[in-house]
Structure 1
Amino acid sequence: MTKHAYSYAVLQYRHDVWVGEALNAGVLLFSESARFLKLKTRTGQGRLAQAYPDLDHGAFREAVKALARRFDRIAATSGLLLPSGSALEVGQKVLQLDDSSLAWGMTGSGVTLDPDEALTNLFGRFVGRYDKAIGREPRTDEMVFEAVRRKLELAELYGRVQPQVVRSKYASIHFKHTIENGALHVIQPVSFDSADAENMLDKAAKWAGRLQSIKELDGKVRPYFVTGRPTDHALMEQYDKMVALLLASPLRPVVMHEERAGELVAKIEEQLH
């Protein structure tokens, strides 16, 4: 498995430039070897809304989305010739230091098997960690996987679970939980425990897009999604739509809620035998 060096720069929001106070609003991650460039941003919810009640959420959301789209276009049109330099240097080509409310802050670097996963982790560390709803911890993907892990152990299959990189002519995707037996059975937990319907869509679309990028491996890769529902009942309609989106993805994935982990493991066991 290939590890890729990366650098990152934290995007900050300054509500009043002259005061000098800033809150983290996103993370830009750049890996030249992985040909990966992406800006992940918040949408105006959470800590920013609490800190600045007069924040124009619509204007902020459109500004950061437009910025993220610019990096997406650079990544899509550059092909093998992505810009060189650090994430900060690449970021400054798009967003220069001026008197606007958005600016680059903390920077850093690291290595990873999966730049997209590294970006998600950095975003949680620098941006999302203080957006938790009062009185509870949002459930992570790995928390959702616990229900499956217990059933795999009962079926004496957990010892066969290994991380694996799936490669196609379009992408290399790192999966943490796979069992290989002729075909590669990929078990992917997806927690939709979110306070934002748009974040739920981003997450479901990310996995649908990943399956699209490896659809040529139909029959060789069998995906199983185990999902976690949102705690906010008002988001249940969005949850149902996201499950439908995953079901409509390439490779004919099995999609089940974590409460049906036993059924999911039974399906995997049937395929293995």
Structure 2
Amino acid sequence: MTRDVYEYAVIRVVPKVERGELINAGVLLYCQPRGYLCARVELDSARLRALDPNADLDGVRRALSAYELACGERPGPLAEESLGGRFRWLTAPRSTIVQAGPVHAGLTADPDTELARLFDKLVRV
């Protein structure tokens, strides 16, 4: 079974950037040899409210869904970018409430299965 290099980043919510507290809310995975780019997100509202009782849950959900939308084929600001270009844009450092963490790499024979494994390990409690 052939394994290919993939890169991933955890999508995190940092409700008060100045405090540095965060929760993991998704995973973004890119596998160039397989032409694969996908994000999976899930917001744990109770955990976010524990860090910031006044957090804008709808705004955070919209920002998280933008990661998923940017990976798809729908028209949008990143539609003309290559998958690699999209991944780099999505993982660029930001000082915003929703942001990607550092990029890590691994090997996989199945990017979908790897995304599910990382999501369960890094996002789900």
- TM-score (normalised: structure 2): 0.78
| Superposed displacement of residue 62, structure 1 | 1.2
Partner of 1:121: 117
Partner of 2:71: 71
Partner of 1:99: 95
Partner of 1:56: 56
Partner of 1:43: 43
Distance 1:96 1:108, change over 3 A: closer
Question: How do 1:1-273 residues align onto structure 2 when only pairs under 5 Å count?
Answer: 1-73=1-73, 82-83=83-84, 90-94=86-90, 96-128=92-124, 130=125
How many Å separate the matches in 1 of 2:50 and 2:15? 12
Q: Percent identity?
A: 28
Runs of 4+ in 1 over 4 A off after TM superposition: none
Amino acid paired to 2:23? L
Matched residue pairs, number? 120
| Superposed displacement of residue 44, structure 1 | 4.1
Amino acid paired to 2:28? L
How many Å separate the matches in 1 of 2:49 and 2:41? 14
Amino acid paired to 1:117? T
| Superposed displacement of residue 48, structure 1 | 2.5
| Superposed displacement of residue 97, structure 1 | 2.7
Deviation per CA, 1:129-184, whole angstroms, max 9, x where unpaired?
Answer: x2xxxxxxxxxxxxxxxxxxxxxxxxxxxxxxxxxxxxxxxxxxxxxxxxxxxxxx
| Superposed displacement of residue 92, structure 1 | 4.0
Amino acid paired to 1:94? L
8 A contact 2:15–2:52 mirrored in 1: yes
Q: Where do 5+ consecutive residues of structure 1 fail to align? A: 85-89, 131-273
Amino acid paired to 2:120? G
| Superposed displacement of residue 20, structure 1 | 1.8
Amino acid paired to 1:17? V
- TM-score (normalised: structure 1): 0.39
Q: Where do 5+ consecutive residues of structure 2 fail to align? A: none
Distance 1:26 1:83, change over 3 A: same
Normalized per residue, the structure richer in helix is 1
How many Å separate the matches in 1 of 2:66 and 2:49? 20
| Superposed displacement of residue 52, structure 1 | 3.2
